[in-house]
Amino acid sequence: MRFLIAFVAGFLATLIFHQGAIALLHGAGVIPIAPYPLQPTWPFGVPQVVSLAFWGGVWGLVLWPVIRNARGLKYWGTCILVGAVGPTAVAMLVVFPLKGIPVDAVKIVGGLVLNGIWGFGTGLLILSYFVAKGWLRRPA
């Protein structure tokens, strides 16, 4: 059940935090990339934002075992660090080369920032759900 929650949290964090940050940066004229891209992806033709959210859910599954025993600042730092480094490294070292997309310092820094925001959001959604369900309680 907790892995399902981690997947859903990662999926939703992509739509809310990752794409939300892109929307804010795009609206401010900082980045040219528009949020919530709807172009179909290969091979299934699903909108790109749905594909991104799916992979955010998969990364939520990766994040959960790493953060499940962390508390306090360690929890938040791990969420941000794993969120920033893991997806960015895979994107820059695997996905971009396969798609013929050049990697540069701007993309690396942008990826680290946006994916760190995703990691924070995923951690927040997981923690919020657990607190709402009473699975986490403060010690007396």
What does the pLDDT read at residue 15? 98
Domain boundaries, the chain: 2-34+48-132
Is the pLDDT at 119 greater than 90, yes or no?
yes
Q: What is the pLDDT of residues 27-83, one digit of tens each?
A: 999 999 999 999 999 889 999 999 999 999 999 999 999 999 999 999 999 999 999
DSSP per residue, 30-95: S-SPPSS--PBPTTT--BHHHHHHHHHHHHHHHHHHHHTT--HHHHHHHHHHHHHHHHHHHIIIII
The pTM score is 0.92
